[in-house]
Structure 1
Amino acid sequence: MSAEPIATPPGPWCPDPIRQQRADYTLEDLLRLPDDAPRVELVDGIIQVTPSPTLGHQDIAFLMRLWLHTHAPQHLRATQDVGVEIAPNTSRRPDVLLCRAEVPSDASLVKAADVVLAVEVVSPGTRRTDRFAKPGEYAAAGIPYYWRVEQDPVHVYAYRRGDRIGPGGERQYELVADSAELIELSEPFEIKLPVAEITP
């Protein structure tokens, strides 16, 4: 009598270690990920699994998306957690974004040229990326506006792409408003955002 091997289900999806070493993943690879793949970003050809956000983070992102959805003009569309094509080998997932309304509803990646505003809610595990890496990438990709939302207490920092040139030769963001109470801006549309309305 011989024992039959017990079939074990395959484990959860993870990036191929050889391709990770070669840093040769592309945006096309992201579109072919299986349904059970975790939430990822593609950075310079390397797939990075992003940490699960906290409830507080998600509450702020939801309230920000709702506020933008309610107040933005009809030619702009607010959405959450959709990939943005930064380069052929880089895609980021802003917590909230404002894009052109004509972007198709079935798009899982949005071109940077169609994004007007990217918003990141900073969590302990994403501080460095949200404060330094992502703004540099978004500005280099031509996204005109970037907001960073800090927690505890909720504080909004609003940036616009300025004329200052960074070390890589690309235009950088400049701070145009910051407050824990009220953000007033004339771009990308007339904005009067009471921070209490995005505070859980």
Structure 2
Amino acid sequence: MTAEPAGHVMWSPNPLRQRAANHFLEDVLNLPHDAPRVELRDGVMIVVPSPTVAHQNIGNLLWLWFRQHAPQEFLAVTAVGVALGLKDSVEPDVLLLDAKVEQTNHYVMPSSVAIAVEVVSPGTKRRDRLEKPVEYAAAGVPHFWRIEQNPVHVYAYDLVDGHYELAADSETELVLSAPFEIKLPIRDITP
């Protein structure tokens, strides 16, 4: 007697193409609807860990704050990727975009990004603290924010001569002049 496979088989990247680092942005766009979130790094699909409730709450509260306080020329979004190249993409936790961006796209170009925000979780520490800032800087994203948890602490960086320099950081109120006048009480994004 032979056992028949039961139920749905979970998606995973093609192992041969993974080893060959031969995935492209088009492959990510054509993933099945039930595939996990992925980012591309040099043609390799990286499955993005599921965020915790606290992580999601911080990102959602920041999205809401941006929606309420950013000027009309900006658009706050979540769960949208940034195409860094044909074989490279990232999916920040929150993006503040140029409001003129095409709203039917799953990915935006770095030139449309005003602020890319990463909320650091245990499974994303190295990537959010070390790797993504370098990738965003290389792509020309003018502002990068890293949000640490427990307690919530925001680090805001400005792109200067191809690399990020700390513009401000706070556990109480983040005050910045770019890309618009920002006075963000950290309690407003603390779950």
Q: TM-score, with normalisation over the residues of structure 1?
A: 0.92
What is the distance in 1 between the residues matched to 2:17 and 2:96?
32
Q: Deviations over 1:48-79 (max 9, x none)?
A: 11111100000000001110111111111000
- Which of the residues 30, 44, 49 maps onto 2:47? 49
Query: How do 1:41-190 residues align onto structure 2 when only pairs under 5 Å count?
Result: 41-163=39-161, 171-190=162-181
- The equivalent residue for 2:24 is 26
Look up the SS of the partner of 1:37 in the other structure.
coil
Q: What percentage of aligned pairs have identical amino acids?
A: 53
Q: Deviations over 1:12-34 (max 9, x none)?
A: 11100000000010111111111
1:158 partner letter: A
Matched residue count: 191
What is the distance in 1 between the residues matched to 2:21 and 2:8?
25
Q: TM-score, with normalisation over the residues of structure 2?
A: 0.96
The structure with the largest alpha-carbon Rg is 1
What is the distance in 2 between the residues matched to 1:5 and 1:45?
36
1:8 Cα deviation after fit? 3.8
Q: Deviations over 1:109-159 (max 9, x none)?
A: 111111110000000111111011000000100100000000000000000
1:192 aligns with 2:189: no
What is the distance in 2 between the residues matched to 1:127 and 1:55?
17
Look up the SS of the partner of 2:62 in the other structure.
helix
* RMSD, aligned α-carbons: 1.3
1:6 Cα deviation after fit? 3.8
Residues 1:7 and 1:195: Cα distance change in structure 2 (over 3 Å): closer
What is the distance in 2 between the residues matched to 1:7 and 1:62?
39
1:5 Cα deviation after fit? 7.1
What is the distance in 1 between the residues matched to 2:16 and 2:78?
32
What is the distance in 2 between the residues matched to 1:100 and 1:130?
23
